[in-house]
Structure 1
Amino acid sequence: MDTLDWNDLRYLLAVARSGSAAGAARALGVSHATALRRIQALEQVVGSPLFDRLQTGYALTESGRRFVAMGEAFERALLDTRREIEGQATELAGTIRFTTTDSLGYSLMPDILAAFRARYPGITVEMKVTNARLDLERREADVMLRVTDAPPPSWVGRRLVRLDAALYAAPAYLDGREPRSLESLDWLMPNSPLGQGAVAEWLRSRIGGARVAASADSFLVLRRLAERGLGAVVLPRFLARQRRLVWLEDVPEDLSVPLWLLTHPDLRHAGRVQAFMEHVAQAIRAACATPEAPAPDDARAWAAGGVASAASAGRSPDPGSGFGPAMP
């Protein structure tokens, strides 16, 4: 058998993980034809088919599984060595691979990154904005800002604040509707992965058999749909700040979830990672102390009218910053 190199194994792992040559091509940033050609060349080198080509995608053969195991072991060793070397670097320069959700990336990170860039011009922040959890072990990210009740125990970091949520709708959607109950409204629902948490489960039980107008896997999309008057929505309260949305009801405080800033243990002593995490943590904790803009008059009018009214709850509509207390 001719000699294999890491590039051969990269293509093998990419096809195995995505289940197709097209998926591997997207993951590696190459053409579909290139991915096909590299897999075919690899099979010629090893002298055995590595995949069964099925209508549903690529399935590993026994030989393929053995080479994938070898490739994953090599990948882990390579990444471990790279992290150890980078974790010893103390200079404030280089690249940080940073991942967060679309709502946090859009609403909080631009101002935070602008201030960070002004302070540390030698550090480049490479952002991966996704609602899916990335794998720090495989170096898909160096630093992660995520809402979670249970961060992986192998990662290290800080629990920053708790994120509160509430129910909202646009004034135009509520205009002319008799305040009755949440079940009488049309709803914009979070779907996977946002639809798997405790808040989404509470909302489904709270609205019963209400009509669902649309669903999305992005709070930014759900907010925009709500602003266009398609229905009511549950949002993290920081996303509704200074938006012309009517507060309907708070999600119970015991369902608020922690916001974590995490990194791999091998990188926690790297100078650029320490600087970045300290900057982000301080900025987010400062944001949690920023007062909420007053609710618009129509929000007060609707709340006074009846649906889960603020008056009946003994509080004003949507108080606070949208963040719970900062964590120690």
Structure 2
Amino acid sequence: MQIDSWDDIRAALTVARLGTVSAAAQVLGVHHATVIRRIDALEAALGARLFQRHPRGYAPTEAGQALLEIAAGADERFAQMAARIAGAGARIEGEIVLTSLPDVTTLVMPRLTRLLLAQPGLRLRYLTDPRLFRLDTGEAHIAIRAGNRPTEPDYVATPLAIIQMRLYGAPGYVAAAGAVEDIRAHRFVLPGPEGRPAPFMRWLGDRVVAENIVMISNDAHARLAAIRGGLGLGWLSPDQSDGLVEVMALPEWDSRLWLVTHVDLHRSPKVQAVLKALRDSGADADPDPETAEPTETGAGAAPD
């Protein structure tokens, strides 16, 4: 014996509860002939008559009553399970995985901290890594990326901030090396391959040779320490520049920061809560004139 479809059992259960095929068809949203076909298929699979047909409707037989008692319990458990799943999905709780850029901590952490304090059931896994995390395979719920708008299929990208990067040096280095009149007369501290999409890296291009690059590191803290130590010039956001000298700034070095989600998870309550928290500048930043959502702030430019 094999019952191919729960819909057959549900049709029989609904007929038993309501007494007529037409009433069951209306509740189930199907044609009355479909209800009759499902009952016939169920009786054939079980090898037993489930209903006595009479002019006023359908009445369960002894076999039908036994089946429908079990089916009613199963249907109730399915309803409870569906309500539990729906309720869990509507709550802002559980783990959220956010992959970010190494240099945007001062921008995003105050906002995330406010959210976590307000939602004690939410747990954050905050990852900064040079590689590009895949949202379509579930490696992360949300990604913060820099540069051009991400174009992967099924990704939802919304603007977060304008990234400002300027060229800085330690006072001792600038005093000894002088102003940046000839770029090849200076040494540079640069990010590794993960920083290549940054506008300032594209601008630098072939303007320098290998001898100009004194250090390459994917560690933002190491680069900052080297710049502060007078090893060379480097690109930083203004909020990292205390005690340093700004030697050059070009609008073309600015780029946009994006919040990226997968379309399947974009509308889930916890993802929406994090997106809203990240877009809520509070007292962190000034409004970005290009859009009502993002804010303008200093941040690193390496992609996640």
Whether contact under 8 Å (2:164, 2:298) holds in the other structure is: yes
SS at match of 1:266: coil
How far did 1:181 drift? 3.3
Structure 2 residue 289 is the aligned partner of structure 1 residue 288 = no
Whether contact under 8 Å (1:288, 1:322) holds in the other structure is: no
Equivalences for residues 92-241 of structure 1 within 5 A: 92-104=92-104, 106-151=105-150, 152-179=152-179, 181-207=182-208, 211-235=212-236, 237-241=237-241
In structure 2, distance between residues paired with 1:86 and 1:129: 32
Q: What is the RMSD computed on CA atoms of the aligned residues?
A: 2.7
In structure 2, distance between residues paired with 1:178 and 1:96: 48
AA paired with 1:276? V
In structure 2, distance between residues paired with 1:173 and 1:288: 31
How far did 1:98 drift? 0.9
In structure 2, distance between residues paired with 1:202 and 1:238: 19
AA paired with 1:227? R
How far did 1:88 drift? 8.1
Tell me: higher relative CO, structure 1 or 2? Use CA pairs within 8 A at least 6 residues apart: 2
Aligned length: 205
Whether contact under 8 Å (2:168, 2:235) holds in the other structure is: yes
In structure 2, distance between residues paired with 1:198 and 1:86: 44
Whether contact under 8 Å (1:188, 1:231) holds in the other structure is: yes
Q: What residue ranges of structure 2 are gaps of 5+ in the alignment? A: 1-84, 288-295, 300-304
Q: What residue ranges of structure 1 are gaps of 5+ in the alignment? A: 1-84, 291-319, 324-328
AA paired with 2:285? C
C-alpha deviations, 1:4-52, integer Å up to 9, x for none? xxxxxxxxxxxxxxxxxxxxxxxxxxxxxxxxxxxxxxxxxxxxxxxxx
How far did 1:87 drift? 11
How far did 1:287 drift? 3.0
Whether contact under 8 Å (1:97, 1:143) holds in the other structure is: yes
AA paired with 1:173? Y
In structure 2, distance between residues paired with 1:238 and 1:271: 34
In structure 2, distance between residues paired with 1:149 and 1:86: 36
Query: 298, 301, 304: which one pairs with 1:322?
Result: 298
Whether contact under 8 Å (2:163, 2:297) holds in the other structure is: no
C-alpha deviations, 1:85-131, integer Å up to 9, x for none? 79981111111111101111x33333222211111111111112112
Whether contact under 8 Å (1:189, 1:195) holds in the other structure is: no
SS at match of 1:287: coil
Q: Normalising by the residue count of structure 1, what TM-score does the alignment of the two structures yield?
A: 0.56
2:73 corresponding residue in structure 1: none
Cα gap change, 1:117/1:202 in structure 2, threshold over 3 Å: closer, same or farther? same
Q: Normalising by the residue count of structure 2, what TM-score does the alignment of the two structures yield?
A: 0.60
